Structure 1
Amino acid sequence: MTEDAEELPEPPHWRLLTSEQVGDAQRGEVRTAGHRRVSFGLYRSATQGDEWSELVKDLQAFRLVLPEGAAFTHVTGARLRGWDLPQLPRQVPVFASVPGDVARPRRCGLIVSRLVSDAPDELRHGLPVAAAEEILLRASRDLGTLDVAIMLTSALRVGDIDQQRLERLLASRRPGVRRLRAACHLSDRKCESPGEVLLKILHDVCDVPADPQVELFDDRGTSLGRADLLLRGTRHVHEYDGGHHRDKDQHRTDLRRERGLSPHYERRGFTLDDLLNHPLTVMHELDRLLERPHQLRRLHRWRSLVLSSCYSEDCRERLHMRWQRLTGQVEWQPTG
């Protein structure tokens, strides 16, 4: 008689991953030349690609320590989905989520949270990404309302949001829901850049009704292009002037456009410095346009949003230190 053959244990999940899923990443100690350490026990080939390709290679390596069913979330998932992001701290870890009671791996530079939703994951650039609504909720636990509004606006614009799933999420009591709900009230899918989102929200909290991405026409009905914001019931055009507007060629284009608008509309341009560091001046301009008295409560509402967002240096530093603690990174400062 022959004894029943013992069943061999199933190989660990990471051994079943193919080269298409993890590239040339390796788990273990690799001491040969031409490899770069991603985190403890994770290596990949040392390459000199652009920032995006290097990020994808790093994420492929992190898949070797993530359990089955894990997906990238938070700003990592948002980046893979191609969303706009706010200003972030100087070092940003990799964020992932794992389902159910699966053990969460711990690695330097990796923050793993537990996912309680059954929303399906997706593949982006060959990497598993959490549902858009879950990405926003996870980000809402760390970032400010302005930051989440920028991400949500971009997600709405590219069509990643399932409205029914978002409404069910907002009706729950999970961590981050209150901030995500506040961001929903401030978001408008018509805004096309983070700067436009900030400009629109500033007008909203200052009680200045304005419509984004409005088609402009002259008296003969000829199209003059679109405006970032058109103050409702007026011919005042307010637009966000990002850094690219100072480019020589772009500057010439902007001047020609302003000359075309000037007989029919009055245009004002605002920079990020105006919105963040000189909001009182901006608010006074808005009040003069509407011929109304100044009310500091409007300014306080805006400053409160900015100070609790990553557009505040103090907030970025606090978030940086928090993420360092969660990932096990500690920077010892020299003492005299």
Structure 2
Amino acid sequence: MTATPKRRRGRQPRRRGATWERVGNGVYVPSGLDGDERWRAELAAWAEVLPPSATFTGLTAARLYGLWLPPLPDDVPTFVALHETSVRIRRPQLRITRHPRPPGAVELDGLRVAPVAEALLACARDLGLLDLVVLIDSALHLEIGTRADLEVVAAAGRPGARLLREALTWCDGRSESAWETLLRMLHRASGIDVEPQVDIHDERGVFIGRADLLVTGTRTLQEYDGADHRKPGQYRRDRRRDGALATSAYVRQGWVASQVIHDGWLILRAATDALGRDLTVDDIRPWWKLLDASLFSKPGSATMRHAWGLSEAEAA
């Protein structure tokens, strides 16, 4: 972790020279950092010039908590909550919300961060329903937040609360990855009931494994095949499991991320064929609508870039 400099009131001293890199007006970080280390150093630098009560929130807090994130642009702003009486700050790198009461905070890695429920409410003001469900699923699965805390925040009638309430009707903490959440949402939005993380047994009752999704009323398993499934140890376990499934009554369908995004029709056909029913365009339209309003799609990403005041050039 990058050490957090002591917060000072007022503007951070201007730093010059090859050992420092400019982040914003009067804000610098040590040169030579990259990735997560660079990002955390930038947050520490911003904390120095922001009012002492400033709190990182929204997607910034979600990343600090280690939640699953939708695909974010490299130039995504830093999300900050301030009390409405705080000094006015306008920086293109920051997206600031003002609150009638000082925003609550916990300390995380030396930074003031909004509690998980508050951070997710802030996300609900910016994101689409699909993005928000991914974030909530991860908070529940990782046991970083609780449904009860989220329900309290969602009932308060504040900006973002309506979408947060809707997202809570879709979320399921049994999901083990963002892409499992998307696979579940694809089915549910299209009117197909699925059960997450189902224990599978053969005809003799011997445990075979746990399936990502079971299409309700069938023996068809819909699973996400991510990068972890290509690791040597996991690959061997998967092959043993596939061998056991081959001698059982279950049929496994494995899908990769690009198929979840671009081949939803093909995935749903596997489910409706198992159910013995037809699949129509009207069935899948609700999923397309969710996808197009999310950061998992180009239209959704373009919409949010515009809302955040980001240039169109970066979206290309």
TM over 0.5: yes
Q: CA RMSD in A?
A: 2.6
Q: Work out the CA distance in 2 between the residues paired with 1:330 and 1:39.
A: 20
1:61 aligns to 2:33 (yes or no): no
User: Is the CA contact 1:191–1:197 (under 8 Å) kept in the aligned structure 2?
Assistant: yes
Structure 1 unaligned spans of 5+: 1-18
Displacement of 1:36 after TM fit?
A: 1.3
Q: Which residue in the other structure is 1:44 paired with?
A: 29
Structure 2 CA distance for aligned equivalents of residues 48 and 163 of structure 1:
37
CA distance in 1, matches of 2:153, 2:252: 40
Which residue of the partner structure matches residue 4 of structure 1?
none
* Structure 1 residues 120 and 311, CA gap change in structure 2 (3 angstroms): same
Q: Which residue of 2 aligns with 1:129?
A: 113
Give, in angstroms, the shift of residue 118 of structure 1: 6.5
**Secondary structure class of the residue paired with 1:204:** helix
1:93 to 77, 83, 97: 77
Task: Report the TM-score, using the length of structure 2 for normalisation.
Answer: 0.89
Note the C-alpha offset of 1:220.
3.2
Q: Classify 1:179/1:199 alpha carbon distance in 2 versus 1 (closer, same or farther; 3 Å).
A: same
Between the aligned partners of 1:301 and 1:107, the Cα distance in structure 2 is 37
Residue 179 of structure 2 aligns to a residue whose secondary structure is helix
Counterparts in 2 of 1:216-235, with a 5 A limit?
216-235=200-219
* Shift, 1:62, TM fit: 0.4
One-letter amino acid of the counterpart of residue 155, structure 2: A
> Within the alignment, does 1:139 sit opposite 2:115 as a pair?
no
Shift of 1:164: 4.0
Residue 244 and residue 164 in structure 1: after superposition, are their counterparts in 2 closer, same or farther (change >3 A)? closer
Letter in 2 for 1:324: G
Shift of 1:99: 2.3
Deviations 1:262-293 (A, max 9, x none): 11221111222222212222222221110113
Q: Which amino acid aligns with 1:307?
A: D
Cross-structure match for 2:5:
22
The match for 2:282 is 297
Q: C-alpha distance in 2, partners of 1:115/1:69? A: 11
With normalisation by structure 1, the TM-score equals 0.84
* Corresponding position: 1:317 with 2:306: no
**Which 5+ residue runs of structure 2 have no aligned equivalent?**
none
Rate the CA distance shift 1:293–1:33 in 2: closer, same or farther, 3 A.
Answer: closer
| CA distance 1:214–1:104, change in 2 (3 Å) | farther
Q: Cα offset for 1:317?
A: 2.3
The offset of 1:135, in angstroms, is 1.0
Q: 2:68 maps to what in 1?
A: 84
CA contact (8 A) 1:121 1:129 kept: yes
Contact residue 60 and residue 79 of structure 2 kept, 8 A: yes
CA distance in 2, matches of 1:107, 1:72: 15
Distance 1:162 1:241 in 2: 28
For residues 294 and 233 of structure 1, do their structure 2 counterparts lie closer, same or farther at Cα, with a shift above 3 Å needed?
closer
**Aligned-pair distance for 1:167?**
2.2
Equivalent position of 1:12 in the other structure: none
**C-alpha displacement at 1:249, in angstroms?**
6.1
Q: Of 226, 231, 234, which residue of structure 2 is paired with 1:242?
A: 226
Q: Percent identity?
A: 33
- d(CA) in 2 for partners of 1:314 and 1:95? 22
